[in-house]
């Protein structure tokens, strides 16, 4: 096994797939354990390990099961706060003389910002193999739940809100500084993620109002998702105080107490909060903090405050994003009661949401509460993020609606990670052919910047030519959108993410942000939902630069 000298120590490859000639280096430490006084702070560089590490020592971050329908949240067994490790999948040829640097994919996992790990189910081998061993694949852990996304003024004053984004950033910095040691090219990095992982990439593009170089120039963004936690006092600060109190902390210095509290007590408090939240919301995730998340990324895109020097993006959603999240909503009264909890102190916005998503039943555009809730969650949490990103990067984006059976949230990661040179799950020949052609779009994009250049146009399910997205000014729906079906691909107009539906959410997010006075100077988006004037941005609220 090859041994590589990284800044955190010498690491020997942990695994070797002889059939596919791929080495895996596991559990490379990229940050110090975020424990004790480092809880709720940005990560710091690790000490150098003594001796040669075999990669067998490592852990996933502490996580909680998301509450979905009748399923209540609970603590996930195992895991550790000492979890900031990454894995690297490297073709064997990169350890031979004369090897040319290869493009890099950095995978950011999803899981509602509460659950997941770099290697829990995700594997880098399938995409490396699908590329003809012409990619290097990296995936790192990041802190979850309150450990990664605690926010509010208490955390802002003596810590780092949204610390998980800084964990992810440190992985990109590690790639910049270290990936050449295994034959990767730090100038050819593609960020790739699904759900919370894709929503994370979205927040790297708008970090500090777009002033921070994200350290990647290409992105594959699948089902970008996040709850709009926009208000730093009434929502975020109160939530942190509840979290601290649930772990037994009260008094003037909550943060000092929480940093000393047992991790198990913090996990229990987190679970209690998740189980008390409105349907399909979890309490912890990307949160407005005046710095990394100056305001909702929706509004950063709309006001032009995002990183623009991107080479290209693949942006996708599945055919039915929200269906698996709506089991907890059984009647319209529940829906009507949840809206004020999600958008407190903003009656104009609450009324507008109830008008945009009216009561279900005869004569309504929603025949039942399931369809009403599906539309609300699908638009506000998932699909419109696709529209915001695609509109921001006009002329640089390829869009997709993933409709391969069953076409529900998360199923598009099956070809990402579970198929390589022969099925790792039970597949018939048509599905196998689909997996290969679908992977070829992704690997072609990561290798060349264009999903068509190396796409597999032969076989039972051949790839077709995939144009860039058509979204001219005034165009209600996105055109030239690739739709993968079970046995073929086709191009469609994506009627699920219309300018009317998504424009409403720009208006709604602008209204709640302006009502709270949280809009950063020079990045105000006016809302038609507010008839009266709103206060100007307050410079004392610490809107940071890069």
Q: Are strands 102-108 and 184-194 parallel, antiparallel or unpaired?
A: parallel
Q: Strand, coil or helix: what is 209? A: helix
Which residues are CB-contacts of 327 (< 8 A; sequence separation ≥ 6)? 68, 69, 70
The residue from 139, 195, 303, 455 that is catalytic is 195
Measured distance CA(204)–CA(186) in Å, rounded:
17
Q: Strand, coil or helix: what is 78? A: coil
Measured distance CA(203)–CA(193) in Å, rounded:
12
Residue 38 Cα to chain centre, angstroms: 24
What is 139-207 written as a DSSP string?
Answer: EE----HHHHH--SHHHHHSS-TTHHHHHHHHHHHHHHHHGGGGTEEEEEEEEEEETHHHHHHHHHHSG
Q: In what order do the strands lie in the sheet with 52-53?
A: 3-6, 9-12, 52-53
What is the SS3 string spanning 250-292?
A: CCCCHHHHHHHCCHHHHHHHHHHHHHHCCCCCCCCCCECCCCC
What is 363-420 written as a DSSP string?
Answer: TSS-SSHHHHHHHHHIIIIIIHHHHHHHHHTTTTEEEEEE-STT-BTTTTHHHHHSBS
195 is an active site residue: yes
Catalytic residue annotation: 195
């Amino acid at each position: 096994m090859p041994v590589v000298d990284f800044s955190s120590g010498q690491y020997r490859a942990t695994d070797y797939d002889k059939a596919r000639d791929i080495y895996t280096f596991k559990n490379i430490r990229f940050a110090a354990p975020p424990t004790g006084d480092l809880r709720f702070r940005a990560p710091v560089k690790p000490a150098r390990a003594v001796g040669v590490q075999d990669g067998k020592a490592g852990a996933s971050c502490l996580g909680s099961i998301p509450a979905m329908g009748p399923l209540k949240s609970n603590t996930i067994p195992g895991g550790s706060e000492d979890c900031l490790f990454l894995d690297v999948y490297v073709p064997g040829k990169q350890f031979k003389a004369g090897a040319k640097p290869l493009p890099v994919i950095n995978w950011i996992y999803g899981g509602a910002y509460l659950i997941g790990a770099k290697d829990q189910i995700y594997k880098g081998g399938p995409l490396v193999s699908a590329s003809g061993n012409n990619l290097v694949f990296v995936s790192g852990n990041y802190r979850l739940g309150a450990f990664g996304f605690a926010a509010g003024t208490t955390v802002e004053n003596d810590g780092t809100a949204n610390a998980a984004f800084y964990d992810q950033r440190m992985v990109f910095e590690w790639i910049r500084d270290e990936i050449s040691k295994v034959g990767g090219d730090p100038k050819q990095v593609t960020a790739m993620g699904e759900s919370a992982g894709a929503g994370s990439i979205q927040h790297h593009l708008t970090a500090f109002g777009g002033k921070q170089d994200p350290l990647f120039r290409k992105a594959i963004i699948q089902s970008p998702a996040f709850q709009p936690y926009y208000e730093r006092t009434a929502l975020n600060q109160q939530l942190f105080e509840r979290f601290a109190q649930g772990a037994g902390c009260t008094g003037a210095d909550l943060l000092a107490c929480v940093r000393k509290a047992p991790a198990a007590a913090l996990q229990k408090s987190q679970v209690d909060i998740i189980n008390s939240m409105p349907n399909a919301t979890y309490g912890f995730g990307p949160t407005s903090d005046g710095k990394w998340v100056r305001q909702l990324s929706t509004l950063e895109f709309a006001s032009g405050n995002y990183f623009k020097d991107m080479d290209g993006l693949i942006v996708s959603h599945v055919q039915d994003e929200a269906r698996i999240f709506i089991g907890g909503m059984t009647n319209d009264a529940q829906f009507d009661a949840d809206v004020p909890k999600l958008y407190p102190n903003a009656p104009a916005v609450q009324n507008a949401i109830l008008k945009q998503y009216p009561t279900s039943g005869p004569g309504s555009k929603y025949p039942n509460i399931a369809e009403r809730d599906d539309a609300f969650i699908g638009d506000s949490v998932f699909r419109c993020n696709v529209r915001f990103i695609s509109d921001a990067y006009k002329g640089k984006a390829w869009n997709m609606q993933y409709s391969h059976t069953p076409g529900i949230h998360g199923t598009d990661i099956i070809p990402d990670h579970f198929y390589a040179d022969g099925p790792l799950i039970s597949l018939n020949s048509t599905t196998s052919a689909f997996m290969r052609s679908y992977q070829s779009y992704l690997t072609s994009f990561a290798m060349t910047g264009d999903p068509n250049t190396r796409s597999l146009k032969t076989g039972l399910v051949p790839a077709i030519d995939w144009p860039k997205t058509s979204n001219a000014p005034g165009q209600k729906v996105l055109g030239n959108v690739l739709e993968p079906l079970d046995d073929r691909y086709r191009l469609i107009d994506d009627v699920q993410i219309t300018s009317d539906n998504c424009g409403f959410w720009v208006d709604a997010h602008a209204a709640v942000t302006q009502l709270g006075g949280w809009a950063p100077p020079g990045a105000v988006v006016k809302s038609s939902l507010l008839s009266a004037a709103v206060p100007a941005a307050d410079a004392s609220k610490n809107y940071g630069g890069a």
